[in-house]
Structure 1
Amino acid sequence: MSGIALRHARVRYGPLEALHGVTVVAPGPGLTVLLGRNGSGRTTVLRALAGTVPLSAGAVVWDGADVTRVPAFERARRGLCLVPERRAVFGSLTVRENLELAAGDITAALDAYPHLAPLLTRRAGTLSGGEQRMLALSRALLARARVVLVDEPAQGMSPTVAARTYELLGALDACVVVAEQRMPPGLRARPGRTTFVHELRRGAVVFSGEAAEAARRGARPTG
């Protein structure tokens, strides 16, 4: 299987279990959306796929291989990029330095988000929330990752920049998984590809299917 998946995954934070035997499949290249309110487990799914939280049971499968015991840094080296909701940039470095950590040529990042060009000499920690999201996503674009995991990609962005962000993510030639509270209206996969949706509620998957089916059933996180 091409892409990345959790198989019957359980994750614990101390005495509390955050994921209760969750199976989530994200085909690649393609676009997968994790829907759920805060506390639903969608962020934990991203962390489990990235290897930043351990599984207490189950497996992570990437391109058909079990990578459950592969550490996060090695998954990153193999082409997995996680863009967390917070602390996604190096605040003490400038915008340019953040971008150059991902690639020597930062042209593609500035083409994606022209708003970053006049901010290149600013320290990332002084940027607004939306600007930091642009910077974090630009670094992911420059990395040319095979798997891109993004927690609330458009948080703090204007509607216009958010639409641009969804367009960029949908066009990537990668396995892209985004976590959102609700289905973004502008999120579209490349022509010929299907957007898949997994809706989570209280650490369990309550719906898995194509985005069109989710729209028909009115998929909304409710708890």
Structure 2
Amino acid sequence: MTTISLRHARVRYGPLEALHGVTVAAAGPGLTVLLGRNGSGRTTALRALAGTVRLSAGSVVWDGVDVTRMPAHERARRGLCLVPERQAVFGSLTVRENLELASRSYGVALDAYPPLEPLLARRAGTLSGGEQRMLALSRALLARARVVLVDEPAQGMSPPVAARTYELLSGLDACVVVAEQRLPPGLRGRAAVVHELRRGAVVFSGEAGEYESRAARRSASRPSA
């Protein structure tokens, strides 16, 4: 089993504090979701796990080892893969070249996302947003990482492709952490851990089913117009 966590993590962007002592944990194989609206801190939490933003306080612990001071490239070398929301592919390279950077044997990526096959000779920068997400996630699948961090995996995808994406992520033999604005339909009924962030703080931690029940109760308690 692989585990990764933030412990009492604080992150500052100049005078503004984006995370206020956040503690979240993820274990794998399995899927963990960081939920929250824009500005909630979910993306910052993901980047803190990856090491692409520095903590002003707190720690990052990976398999029981404090890696807070370990640079992002060293975390990547040790098996952590980050798929950011933007600039997740090399736009000047072809789809084939992007895949070959991850693995010379990239057939599994085309099995996962068949629409990429006729695009192999295209420059990645000319693809649509959904096609670029498929390519970025294909590279993550090929990396065989122990920890996979993805910011809004299904952004720009059609509902069937988004559902397929969550099937793929749920089936990885890795600790998978995704950041989303709301619980994806593809996760409903699946075993997943949810951490909801609001204004840089954790307001809920529990199973996806528990989160759905809680959200339904809140919706039902609101007065009708």
Tell me which interval the TM-score lies in, with the shorter structure as reference length: over 0.9
Do the aligned partners of residues 47 and 88 (structure 1) sit closer, same or farther apart at CA in structure 2, a change above 3 Å counting?
same
Moved over 4 A (4+): none
Q: Given the two structures, how large is their TM-score scaled by the length of structure 2? A: 0.94
SS in structure 1 opposite 2:137?
helix
User: Match of 1:158, as an amino acid?
Assistant: S
SS in structure 2 opposite 1:154?
coil
Partner of 2:221: none
1:170–1:189 contact (8 Å) kept in structure 2: no
**How many Å separate the matches in 2 of 1:209 and 1:64?**
21
Q: How many residues align?
A: 217
SS in structure 1 opposite 2:90?
coil
**How many Å separate the matches in 2 of 1:195 and 1:182?**
14
Structure 1 residue 29: Cα displacement: 1.6
**How many Å separate the matches in 2 of 1:162 and 1:28?**
21
Structure number with greater Rg is 2
1:86-165 pair list within 5 angstroms:
86-165=86-165
SS in structure 2 opposite 1:55?
coil
Partner of 1:175: 175
Alignment match of 2:198 (pick from 186, 192, 201): 201
Q: Given the two structures, how large is their TM-score scaled by the length of structure 1? A: 0.95
1:99–1:138 contact (8 Å) kept in structure 2: yes
Structure 1 residue 129: Cα displacement: 0.2
1:171–1:189 contact (8 Å) kept in structure 2: no
1:77-100 CA-partner distances (Å, limit 9, x unpaired): 000000000000000000000000
Partner of 2:40: 40
Structure 1 residue 212: Cα displacement: 1.2
% identity of equivalent residues:
84
Partner of 2:214: 217
Structure 1 residue 188: Cα displacement: 6.4
Partner of 1:53: 53
Partner of 2:223: none
1:47-80 CA-partner distances (Å, limit 9, x unpaired): 0000000000000000110000000000000000
SS in structure 2 opposite 1:186?
helix
Do the aligned partners of residues 46 and 94 (structure 1) sit closer, same or farther apart at CA in structure 2, a change above 3 Å counting?
same
User: Match of 2:170, as an amino acid?
Assistant: G
Structure 1 residue 187: Cα displacement: 2.2
**How many Å separate the matches in 2 of 1:219 and 1:151?**
25
User: Match of 2:192, as an amino acid?
Assistant: T
**How many Å separate the matches in 2 of 1:90 and 1:3?**
29
SS in structure 2 opposite 1:218?
helix
2:189–2:209 contact (8 Å) kept in structure 1: no
**How many Å separate the matches in 1 of 2:188 and 2:98?**
28
User: Match of 1:217, as an amino acid?
Assistant: R
Partner of 1:64: 64
2:103–2:143 contact (8 Å) kept in structure 1: yes
2:188–2:208 contact (8 Å) kept in structure 1: no
Partner of 2:73: 73
User: Match of 1:67, as an amino acid?
Assistant: V
Question: Where does structure 1 lack aligned partners over 5 or more consecutive residues?
Answer: none
**How many Å separate the matches in 2 of 1:127 and 1:205?**
36
Structure 1 residue 219: Cα displacement: 7.6
SS in structure 2 opposite 1:163?
helix
Question: Where does structure 2 lack aligned partners over 5 or more consecutive residues?
Answer: 218-225
SS in structure 1 opposite 2:34?
strand
Structure 1 residue 189: Cα displacement: 8.8
User: Match of 1:127, as an amino acid?
Assistant: L
User: Match of 2:119, as an amino acid?
Assistant: L
